[in-house]
Homo-oligomer: A and B are copies of this chain.
């Protein structure tokens, strides 16, 4: 008889957003008149910018003509896009990355989820706690996580690195060996960024331990402080030990458009095998490229007009973040993040459990947030706000919260 991957059965339900939805539905039924403000899910709300829309319209037109039609493209992405990525996101910033080190894909979720395929099942994996659940769940699926302990909310074989107010949400380098280390900076969910010194410690650790850093920089475009690196490859030695994941989702509002990229330097070699070649093999075997139209849209982001337009949008969201930070502080909450990221991570009042505070914000302020504990046990006592909403509604939400606290 066919046998399923038993690891899937070990996964706890992915209840976070479905529990939130149930609570919101129940509240709406009881209070049909109340206008809810959503600051929960990390999804953008501003439309795609005109230069992207224009480029995609042109590309759609092309696809309807004999001369402009594009069938299968290169799985790794069209040269026009890879070259723009390399030039603008790396070389202009003094980082020497080659076009064939860039793999265009349909999302950082897919890439951070699939990267494990090219590694053996018996690698020791380290993740932050709280954490973007995809890193954990995909390792559990491939048998690297061991068994799940409901009590602790942890998997037996993962190394959890606690991110707390005490360590500034930058967990110390572990005192044991880890093979694969997932880092996300600026961080989801805490909204905190890592500076060069901190990342240098990781690179040194990875080189000395022979580990690979899987660096998710999906939020780099929100960085406002000059001391915060945008890429792990700004750190000396990183090309020998790191993979970087980037996305157009938050940079250019592509969450519904699906385009991202992963950078794997040729220098990253494990036991004689180039990780770039392994990923190239996976990417060309299990993936068939991002739609031509979408890649044209992504390319437009790098134009002069595109840059001006997306920077306006990012400014808009960062302004929301400032409103949330300031407002919550005024309400007496201790807040983190939101300076180099679209997320604000707030301590609940009086160490209230995350879910209780979530309920209170929903019922009394009619604001939807995400309970910190949903991202891992160390998120208990925190709540996440996102800055992706409408500015007026964000202001109103903050005013409502100030009123009830």
* CB nearest neighbor in B for A269: B4
Q: Are B45 and A69 in contact (CB under 8 A)?
A: yes
Which B residues are CB-close (under 8 A) to A11?
A: 281
Would you call A288 an interface residue if the criterion is a C-beta within 8 Å of the partner chain's C-beta atoms?
yes
* A210 CA / B273 CA spacing, docked (Å): 39
Q: Restricting to A50-102, which residues have a CB under 8 Å from any CB of B? A: 50, 52-53, 56-57, 60-61, 63-66, 68-73
Q: Separation in Å of the A121 CB from the closest CB of chain B?
A: 8
Q: Are B179 and A72 in contact (CB under 8 A)?
A: no
* A9 CA / B271 CA spacing, docked (Å): 11
Q: Separation in Å of the A310 CB from the closest CB of chain B?
A: 13
* With known contacts A256-B70, A257-B291, A270-B3, A138–B286 Cβ distance under 8 A: yes
Q: Restricting to A236-288, which residues have a CB under 8 Å from any CB of B? A: 253, 255-258, 270-271, 273, 275, 278, 281-282, 284-288
Q: What 0/1 readout, one digit per residue, does chain A (120-149) give for beta carbons within 8 Å of chain B? A: 111100000000001001100100000000
Q: Are B106 and A288 in contact (CB under 8 A)?
A: yes
Q: Are B53 and A63 in contact (CB under 8 A)?
A: yes
Q: What 0/1 readout, one digit per residue, does chain A (1-20) give for beta carbons within 8 Å of chain B? A: 11111101101001000000
Q: Are B47 and A63 in contact (CB under 8 A)?
A: yes
From B47, B113, B282, A285 is in contact (CB under 8 Å) with B113
Q: Are B291 and A4 in contact (CB under 8 A)?
A: no
Which B residues are CB-close (under 8 A) to A285?
A: 14, 113, 134, 137-138, 141
Q: Separation in Å of the A11 CB from the closest CB of chain B?
A: 6
Which B residues are CB-close (under 8 A) to A43?
A: 71-72
Q: Are A107 and B288 in contact (CB under 8 A)?
A: yes
Of the A-B pairs whose beta carbons lie under 8 Å apart in the complex, a sample of 27, sorted by A's number, is: A1-B270, A2-B119, A2-B123, A3-B120, A3-B179, A4-B275, A5-B119, A5-B121, A45-B71, A47-B65, A48-B63, A49-B64, A53-B61, A56-B293, A57-B60, A70-B256, A71-B253, A71-B255, A72-B255, A73-B256, A106-B287, A107-B287, A110-B288, A137-B285, A141-B285, A255-B288, A291-B293
